[in-house]
Amino acid sequence: MRTILITGCSTGIGHHAAHFLKSKGWRVFATCRAQDDVARLTSEGLESFRLDYEDPASIEAGFNETLARTGGTLDALFNNGAYAIPAAVEDLPVAALRQNFEANFFGWHDLTRRVIPVMRAQGTDGKGHGRIIQCSSVLGLMAMPWRGSYNSTKFALEGLTDTLRLEMRGTGIKIITIEPGPIGTAFRLNARKQFDKWIDWQASPRADQYQSSLVPRLYKAAEANTPDPFELGPEAVSAKVLRALEAPNPRAHYYVTTPTYIAALSRRFLPQRLIDRMMAKI
């Protein structure tokens, strides 16, 4: 049975992907940050244990637990768990940005580096075997206002993943990026928690802008569960993950949702000044 380790499975994309891939015959190790969520996922019939990107000890323990259960092999890794700290860049504390990079970037790199030697050692004809899928974002292709922390982690992830893909050519290890746009998850509610923790928006010179745009979006829209334009459910991402796992020659990038396709085309064909004008209105 093919095996996959998935992070960030408590809700949203990771939760759906774990159940979906299990239904397709994969043995899924569905990890998450909180022990209470581990218990819930286990009650749902998934194999679950704790793995928190901000806790290096839990990354090591989660990785070791995976290999203990598989006998030392792993067919695929889906790096997925991430969150945003919405704010104007000038109001973003350095400590907040560091924490966000730990969760969205450095922890991913730690886990990926642990997986690569395992994948190198398996396979046939002197080549390794395995697939590493990174869940990036439309915000790794094009920046949007108020999302500087998340934008920067995803732009960094795009660069690191593209480099890794080039370096893994010929090894039998496939490196793939999934690029979701707006997906119906608890992402905005989680972002609100980070906003409350880190951002003193009332003391900002942009307080009026926060009051008129970002705060209503984080609170009223989140509580009302108002969908974004072109928003899809997490099943749209799971479908692309399955294609990335099972295609004989997977693509380097899989786009999900109309905004992601628009962003990719805009970067390719439109001048930056026009892109800036478009994005500033969002």
Per-residue confidence (pLDDT) for residue 278, from 0 to 100:
85
Domains and CATH numbers, the chain: 3-81+88-188+229-280 (3.40.50.720)
Task: Give the span between the Cα atoms of 200 and 65, in whole angstroms.
Answer: 40
Asked whether 174 and 251 are in contact (CB, 8 A), the reply is no
For the segment 60-102, what is each residue's pLDDT rounded down to a tens digit?
Answer: 999 999 999 999 999 999 999 999 999 999 999 999 999 999 9
Residue 221 pLDDT exceeds 80 = no
pLDDT digits (tens, 9 = 90+) for 204-216: 999 999 999 999 9
Bridge-based pairing of strands 173-180 and 76-79 is unpaired
pLDDT band at 281, cuts 50/70/90?
Answer: confident
Question: Which pLDDT score, from 0 to 100, does residue 184 have?
Answer: 87
Query: What's the Cα-to-Cα distance from 153 to each of 73, 103, 133, 187, rounded to whole Å?
Result: 29, 9, 16, 15
Task: With a cut of 60, say whether residue 270 has pLDDT above it.
Answer: yes
How does pLDDT run across 237-258, given as a tens digit for each residue?
999 999 999 999 999 999 999 9
Count CB-CB contacts under 10 A for residue 54.
Answer: 16
- 150, 210, 254, 255: the active-site residue: 150
Instruction: Check if 150 is active-site.
Output: yes
CA–CA distance from 232 to each of 107, 228, 259 (Å)?
27, 9, 11
Residue 224 banded pLDDT, cuts 50, 70, 90? low
> Mind listing the pLDDT tens digit for each residue in 153-173?
999 999 999 999 999 999 999
Q: Tell me the average pLDDT of the chain.
A: 95
| pLDDT for position 229 | 81
Range 23-31 average pLDDT: 98
User: pTM of the full predicted structure?
Assistant: 0.95
What pLDDT, in 10s, does the model give residues 48-58?
999 999 999 99
CA distance 54 to 104: 9
